[in-house]
């Protein structure tokens, strides 16, 4: 084989290789771009331009910072400059682009440098994968899991947290944070349940589920922990605040309930435990509040008692 013939074959192979690259570049379903060492778009494919709402011609000459979210430019430049310094040959990152219409696009960027034989960077080949659908599905999954969790820790009758939800909250470390725990027991629930039936009893519990949260502060934790027993956790509340809330609960639940067209009086007793800045757990406070509740009921009900 002559020298000229061999050169011709190499030129054909080079042409074929370039044609294959051009075809794969422009026909790719993912975004692709050739970026200069100064960060300018030398060439982009249709998929990438469509992601951002431009034509391919409009994007040529744009700097990648022109369509990068302002909060992601620094991280991108840090990796880009690391390649330019010879510290790496490629990098990958999740980042945000700004579409032409101002919408935010979440993408996975993979950038690889093409170098001269002496290591001098010539240009970057970038591949961009649109993560919007994956992100949407991920967010929907998070929402579904959150809703499922709510179903697991919520009492279906009152809408308050249930025993499981309360037990999870009892595991919260409080350190020396001033925290109070109240246990509320309905005084005459059994009489209503026996006299008017279980449906009436359920109506009473539903009404308690509405009234109790209104007597506490926003952010306080209210749960139905048993048949007619309720628990309240008051973070950042001392004994004075806890007693004021207990007073409101006793007054509110002592007022009449309209059940099946009749006025019913339920009443409630409350046991209170306060951390008073001591190193105590909520589980220990639960035991203390239970003992205080026993004292309140033994003293005639319709009152509150503070744990010793």
Cβ-contact 305, 293 below 8 angstroms: yes
Q: What's the Cα-to-Cα distance from 123 to each of 37, 39, 196, rounded to whole Å?
A: 5, 9, 83
Q: Which of 167, 150, 118, 139 is nearest to 282 (CA)?
A: 167
How crowded is residue 210: how many other Cβ atoms within 10 Å of its Cβ?
A: 11
Tally of CA atoms within 13 A in the half-sphere of 292 that contains its CB = 24
Radius of gyration of the chain (CA): 34
Catalytic residue at 187?
no
Geometric angle at alpha carbon 179, from 296 and 186, rounded to 5°: 30
Token pair in block for residue 135: 């992100």
- Active-site residue (options: 72, 194, 228, 238): 228
Q: Cα(50)–Cα(27) distance, rounded to whole angstroms?
A: 13
Tell me the sheet residues that pair with 114. Answer: 123
Active site (catalytic) residues? 228
């Amino acid at each position: 084989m002559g020298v000229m013939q061999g050169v011709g074959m190499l030129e054909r192979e080079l042409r074929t290789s370039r044609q294959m690259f051009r075809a794969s570049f422009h026909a790719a379903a993912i975004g692709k771009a050739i970026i200069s060492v100064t960060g300018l778009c030398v060439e982009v494919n249709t998929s990438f331009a469509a992601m951002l709402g431009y034509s391919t011609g409009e994007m040529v000459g744009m700097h990648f910072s022109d369509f990068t979210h302002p909060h992601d430019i620094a991280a991108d430049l840090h990796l880009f400059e690391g390649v330019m310094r010879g510290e790496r040959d490629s990098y990958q990152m999740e980042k945000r682009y700004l579409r032409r219409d101002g919408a935010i696009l979440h993408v996975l960027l993979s950038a690889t440098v093409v170098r001269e034989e002496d290591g001098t960077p010539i240009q970057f080949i970038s591949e961009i994968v649109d993560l919007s659908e994956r992100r949407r599905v991920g967010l929907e999954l998070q929402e579904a899991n959150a809703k499922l969790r709510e179903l697991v820790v919520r009492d279906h009758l009152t809408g308050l947290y249930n025993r499981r939800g309360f037990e999870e909250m009892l595991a919260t470390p409080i350190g020396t944070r001033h925290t109070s725990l109240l246990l509320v027991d309905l005084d005459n629930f059994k009489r209503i349940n026996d006299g008017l039936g279980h449906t009436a009893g359920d109506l009473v519990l539903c009404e308690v589920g509405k009234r109790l949260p209104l007597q506490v502060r926003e952010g306080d934790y209210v749960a139905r922990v048993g048949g007619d027993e309720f628990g309240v956790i008051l973070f950042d509340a001392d004994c004075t605040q806890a007693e004021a809330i207990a007073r409101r609960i006793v007054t509110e639940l002592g007022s009449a309930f309209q059940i099946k067209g009749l006025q019913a009086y339920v009443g409630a007793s409350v046991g209170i435990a306060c951390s008073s800045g001591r190193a105590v757990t909520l589980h220990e406070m639960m035991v203390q509040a239970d003992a205080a509740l026993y004292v309140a009921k033994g003293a005639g009900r319709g009152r509150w008692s503070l744990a010793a």
